[in-house]
């Protein structure tokens, strides 16, 4: 047995209990909501407004939102904040790796919105619908 404050043998997971588990979960939810709020500020508000004014863009956002719901495993109720923020972070990281750049939203031609733009707007739509932002 390895000495230490846990009293657990080496390699054995430590079970968080009570207050610490609740704190960890609250921290995860806070971080997720922060991520989703940042995405809404950066792109979501203007993108969702543009979608509301354009039937074609709204249809594309709806299709992307359905794909995200399916990918996250809860097509009926929609994803929770943590799953949605994790997915958004994965999309963002992939786009950063690909050196993708979004022009300022004031300069976007919403009728020609790229796949990444529509996917990110769809994430924002799901976050709003789920009450996460």
> What single string gives the DSSP state of each residue in 10-71?
TTPPPPP-HHHHHHHHHHHHHHHHHHHHHHIIIIIHHHHHHHHH-HHHHHHHHHHHHHHHHH
Distances in whole angstroms, Cα of residue 130 to Cα of each of 50, 95, 98: 20, 25, 29
pLDDT, residue 13, reads 63
Between 10-19, 43-52, 70-79, the lowest mean confidence (pLDDT) is in: 10-19
Q: What is the mean pLDDT of residues 95-113?
A: 93
30/53 Cα distance (integer angstroms): 32
Q: What is the mean pLDDT of residues 65-89?
A: 90
97/92 Cα distance (integer angstroms): 9
pLDDT level of residue 5 (50, 70, 90 thresholds): very low
77/89 Cα distance (integer angstroms): 21
User: What count of residues does the chain have?
Assistant: 133
pLDDT, residue 103, reads 87
pLDDT, residue 74, reads 73
Q: What does the buried/exposed string (b/e) look like for 30-54 if buried means 16 or more CB atoms within 10 Å of the residue's CB? A: eebbebbeebbeebbbbbbebbeee
């Amino acid at each position: 047995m390895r000495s230490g404050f846990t009293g657990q043998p080496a390699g054995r997971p430590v079970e968080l209990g009570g207050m610490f588990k609740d704190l960890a979960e609250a921290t995860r939810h806070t971080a997720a909501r922060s991520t989703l709020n940042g995405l809404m500020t950066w792109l979501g508000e203007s993108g969702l407004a543009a979608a509301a004014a354009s039937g074609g863009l709204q249809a594309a956002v709806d299709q992307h939102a359905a794909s995200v719901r399916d990918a996250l495993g809860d097509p009926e109720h929609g994803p929770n904040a943590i799953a949605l923020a994790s997915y958004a972070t994965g999309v963002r990281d992939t786009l950063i790796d690909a050196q993708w750049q979004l022009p300022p939203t004031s300069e976007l031609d919403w009728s020609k919105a790229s796949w990444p733009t529509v996917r990110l707007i769809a994430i924002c739509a799901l976050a709003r619908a789920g009450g996460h932002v």
